[in-house]
Structure 1
């Protein structure tokens, strides 16, 4: 334990001792001076900080200082009532204020208490309450602003994290200040009560127990009471003022002194007006010497500030240029150039309005909502989408990259709407023929004048921002497995461990490493299976991870554990599921050609047999597609993953399920059978 930590602990113990054990006068005087010094230090720190969070310990410190001051009040009250003395400091303050008239001194003291309680303390309490309320109300907007800046590429992930933490600390700080200000108010009330107790009971004790006359008792106890009140109220006044400064402080580039002088003296010409007004007061009975002196100082200050503000600051500009040049030459600046964004969205110059908020673009907000939607659907945190314009693209073109590789592209006409066909060809509708980029449906770009007519004709009409948002959503879904790396997997595991620590410890780091878990989750995402139900997946990995670390097999076990989720994903509203079944002959053919190796198992089937199976599946899928249904292939659990491996190269859009992945309550309807001659 360091000396600083030990000193704080000893200070708290001393406060407790002061509440119980009587202290000698010299020690009370010493502690009173320490209290005044601490109050001065607090108000000086509050005036010299540039933002409130630089003094984040202030709420706790406020509580400790208030307790220390109350403990001093208890100790001095004990000494005053029992011994009619409380040290040289209290006596000196009382004698100095009262002078020869106890009543006048007491009135001055009462005025000081009123100022402390009604003006400073009540004001600081109200400001703390309002600041806490507005800070909490502003949190969602600030967080959305950070997300928007992050998506726009104005800040990186580390800077966004720092800003979010700062917002959280601000809310905690102002909430704590709202509560801590109540201590200041209570301390002021306690000080008034203690003064009344000292006077009333002091007079009683002085006259009854010590045999003093009324005048003597008034002189002794009034002097000690006023002195005790002053040595308590002066630090309390400083602390209350510091509280007001802290909660009213706005983040800036300088301390309070710098800001006050810079902003108050920002307009030198106003000093001429103020100085002239003071000089005019010299025409009244007010002494001209005083008005002339102050007016002359103001007028001279305005003249001097006007001259200073006109001087060019070439030195600072040169230093700024040199700093920027050094930054460009630094190795850190070069290293940042090799960083690759996980997701990049680039567009031509004609599409800038969809991303520029000044032109009404809401693409940044849409991408924030896309990331939230996919987090709910897929169960992973989608990385930030970096948005930038690219003059190498066509004016209306855009493209999406994942880990530097282009995965999608499209074209938008901002002054048109995309009308998707209702399924029946209609050549009467005027427009530019195209395809809907997300699903490849036939569509037309139509003008705004034809929008109502297209909707009446059964077309689905979508505006360009919605088109590109849907395209981005679908592309990220299809490539979610590429976005889930070991680092992202570790984040998911850390989050899961907060609720299921025993389950996580049973899976990783033994028997499965982070990379093994990542492969299983990526294989599930590759087939559009959400990993949001991570506890169920980890239960499966805990059961089977000790038997094998083959990610393919573990993914199959996880799929079977998620049978209800997978069934719900594909079944119809009437609880039925239309599937294409694989014949026993085909399954046997596949099963006989599975090769087992030390690195896993794979399908070793001759090209002719592969082509025959794929052609048969393609024919069945085409028949299902004519009925506008999703093509789902159903086979046994033993061959499911091998059938999917076979189709990935030819028919990746076909969903392959096993019998063990279906909920027992779903009604399965076979609409075709895959067979070979």
Structure 2
């Protein structure tokens, strides 16, 4: 048996049964519409219908976000079919056996009909119609409209969200697994709201069907009872109207609960709390309850009003406001005590007094630091969910993995000398980056096809220098639908920090960091480390060589190959710069694989033979081996290379400049001053196994020609 279950994809008997329940249930629903049911079984199905509706409503109320109940549209369809099947089965019994009395269709229908009618058939009919109107006109129509609008905006926002995930992934804010999960969530979100847009029509159609079924039961019952069974009009009315209204109520009450569940799901905002906790937290404001109490108190003194009831309501609202205010003061005092405790510990440990200045006040030994204006403090406040610290940690991990050494921790602190939304990034004591971000807004970066301009604060993106606009958060969907990429403010700052780490990585590595790398390599290659450092290459020289490599973003993760190559170069008596250049051909593959995947050709920019020969001649004529370019030639050269690089970047690729090894280092130094992310390689550094695609050849004529290949 177990082998058979496994063969058909079921792990065990329990899995087989759980998988079998849904198909069998659907078949039972279809059978209910065709086969006659006894009254007892009909009662059982009606109670099951009420149970399912209550369960769905409770689950909807306790979900944290709509996607937590992604099976709701399918479940709504099944519940609607169950209700319609019961309506068909109950109609058959009412029209066939209604002449036997009010108990002919079971106890549930009789009880609901007798309770609502209470001796007055007109009242029962009107109550039923009011329930249908509430369900159809108010709840179902509103939920359907919300589903329609949400589905449209969710689909329009998908491209922008995907681009934002790609931006966070490239900046190191997200790992590949996290980016994959977010993409799956976006796809599920669009599918969910699209399904909800259609599923809400089920509830609407069910409410309309309820009215028609009620009319059929009453009219058909009276005709059958009087014409076929010879009942008097009064007895036929008593029997068939009670059964019809009872049947309608048994179906409409679960339908109403499912309509409420639908409205809750589509109007739900994703939070870390269920609906009750979410609403309770936001309405528990003393400054809202106390004015309510005052208004009720005034109404309670108006003559002719039910004074006692209004005064009682005022007292209850006032008591609630008092308790909430007391709780708010308690939380404020607790925060104050925590701050006082922190200050006391600082005074005790740091021995700070108003007339004393410590060395820590004027020095900062952190390798990387970020200073924030007071308006940006909330971005790092864990109590309010500030995500910046976690994002910086993710960036450090990503950059460390890419470059091959551990980036030092980043110190984040406030600086009251800065403007509210201003920040500064320091490497050591040197300011290497500064700009402004607006925590209450979002940065919209226009795409290539963007033609609509959105109102906001026009700025330059701090990382790439592109035109951008800080927009209000409620304009995000509009911006994404018009081709903008919308980025969170903390992502803007995090991406800037990531760029700074790559650019100044050569200043972040020190002898202590290199010693840690050597100690780690010594676990697997102890003889290699012992024979090279410090016997052949001193620690400070190795640090300088690694720094030279990192200055051009060459990863140093393969330290074993670096030491083996340095051991072979030991007899040539090379300096730090020459040693770094000699190491590059063996390490350039690590840089290239980060630029282009292995199965794709490497986009290459080259120089024309005339221009390259001219540059080599200039380098030979220089006494120190440098490259002194005429200002006009340098401007044309940089502009042409920048245009080719930007054109490739627009296609989602990154190009490299390949030149003769004699001028590679000098040209790289010039290019880094103007194009941060451009890698300059020598011909000898290109791996033989990699395919290349020459996308442009730069010539040095006056027209700045770029010859696309």
Measured against the shorter chain, the TM-score band is: 0.5 to 0.7
Report how many residues are paired. 439
Residue 387 of structure 1 corresponds to: 499
* Equivalent position of 2:106 in the other structure: 87
1:189 to 2:208 alignment: yes
**Residue 343 of structure 1: how far off its partner (Å):** 11
Closer/same/farther in 2, CA of residues 89 and 476 from structure 1, 3 Å limit: same
- Give the deviation of 1:282 after TM superposition: 1.5
Change (3 A) 1:459 1:445: closer
Contact 1:355–1:364 (8 Å) recurs in 2? no
Q: Offset of 1:352 from its aligned partner?
A: 3.0
User: RMSD between aligned alpha carbons?
Assistant: 5.0
Map 1:40-189; keep pairs closer than 5 Å: 40-84=54-98, 85-189=104-208
Paired residue for 1:8? 22
Spell out, residue by residue over 1:487-533, the C-alpha distance to the aligned partner (whole angstroms, 9 max, x if none).
xxxxxxxxxxxxxxxxxxxxxxxxxxxxxxxxxx985644337xxxx
Q: Tell me if the contact between 2:53 and 2:258 (Cα under 8 Å) persists in the aligned partners.
A: yes
TM-score (norm 1): 0.56
Shift of 1:444: 4.3
Seen in structure 2, the aligned counterparts of structure 1 residues 441 and 263 have a Cα distance that, compared at 3 Å, is farther
Paired residue for 2:402, among 341, 344, 347?
341
Matched, 1:288 2:307: yes
Matching residue of 1:361: 461
Offset at 1:176?
0.8
Partner of 2:297: 279
- Report Cα offsets for 1:68-87 as digits up to 9, x if no partner: 11101100011100111311
Once the two structures are TM-superposed, the CA of residue 163 in structure 1 deviates from its matched residue by 1.2
CA distance in 2, matches of 1:464, 1:286: 83
**Equivalents in 1 of 2:118, 2:628: separation in Å?**
96
Give the deviation of 1:283 after TM superposition. 2.0
Three-state SS of the structure 1 residue aligned to 2:553 is strand
Q: Give the equivalent residue in structure 2 for 1:270.
A: 288
Q: Which residue matches 1:352?
A: 433
Residues 343 and 76 of structure 1: CA distance in aligned 2, closer, same or farther (over 3 Å):
farther
Any idea what SS the aligned residue of 2:401 has? coil
Of 210, 229, 248, 1:229 maps to 248
Partner of 2:262: 243
What is the CA distance between 1:10 and its match in structure 2? 2.4
Distance in 2 between residues matched to 1:626 and 1:364, nearest whole Å = 29
Q: Decide whether aligned partners of structure 1 residues 263 and 31 sit closer, same or farther in structure 2, where only a CA change above 3 A counts.
A: same
Aligned to 2:238: 219
1:541 counterpart residue number: none
CA distance in 2, matches of 1:471, 1:442: 26
- Partner of residue 31 from structure 1, selected from 20, 45, 58: 45
CA deviations over 1:398-445 (Å, ceiling 9, x no partner) = 95525447979xxxxxxxxxxx9xx99xxxxxxxxxxxxxxx995749
Residues 354, 360 of structure 1: 8 Å contact kept = no
* Deviation for aligned residue 1:149: 2.1
For residues 426 and 642 of structure 2, what CA distance do their matches in structure 1 show?
13
Aligned residue in 2 for 1:585:
none
- Give the one of 259, 272, 283 matched to 1:253: 272
Shift of 1:130: 0.6
Q: Structure 1 residue 187: deviation in Å?
A: 1.2
Distance 1:263 1:462, change over 3 A: farther
Question: CA 1:365–1:190 in 2, change beyond 3 Å: closer, same or farther?
Answer: farther
CA contact (8 A) 1:342 1:402 kept: yes
Contact 1:35–1:69 (Cα < 8 Å) also in 2: yes
Conserved? CA contact 1:80–1:224, under 8 Å: yes
Q: How far apart, CA to CA, are the structure 2 residues paired with 1:192 and 1:224? A: 14
Structure 2: distance between partners of 1:394 and 1:45: 55
Match for residue 323 of structure 2? Answer: 304
CA distance in 1, matches of 2:125, 2:648: 79
> Structure 2 vs 1, CA of residues 445 and 475 (structure 1 numbering), >3 Å: closer, same or farther?
farther
1:477 aligns to what?
A: 655
**1:575-586 equivalence runs, <5 A:** none
- Mapped to 2, the partners of 1:88 and 1:66 lie a distance apart of 22
Whole-angstrom distance in 2 between the partners of 1:365 and 1:161: 28
Q: CA shift at 1:393, angstroms?
A: 6.4
Distance 1:570 1:269 in 2: 67
Q: Does the Cα contact within 8 Å between 2:147 and 2:197 map onto a contact in 1?
A: yes
| Residues 462 and 264 of structure 1, relative CA distance in 2, 3 Å threshold | farther
Matched, 1:528 2:546: no
- Distance in 2 (CA, whole Å) between partners of 1:81 and 1:443 is 101
What is the match of residue 203 of structure 1? 222
TM-score by length of 2: 0.53
Instruction: Classify the secondary structure of the residue corresponding to 2:693.
Output: coil
Unaligned 5+ runs, structure 1:
368-383, 409-419, 425-439, 447-453, 481-520, 530-568, 573-623, 633-654, 656-677
Task: Name the CA distance, whole Å, in 1 between partners of 2:638 and 2:399.
Answer: 42
CA distance in 2, matches of 1:403, 1:300: 66
Task: Indicate if the aligned counterparts of 1:76 and 1:86 stay in contact, CA closer than 8 A.
Answer: yes
CA distance in 2, matches of 1:223, 1:184: 25
Deviations 1:143-177 (A, max 9, x none): 22222222332222222221111111101110111
Structure 2 contact 151–194 (Cα < 8 Å) conserved: yes
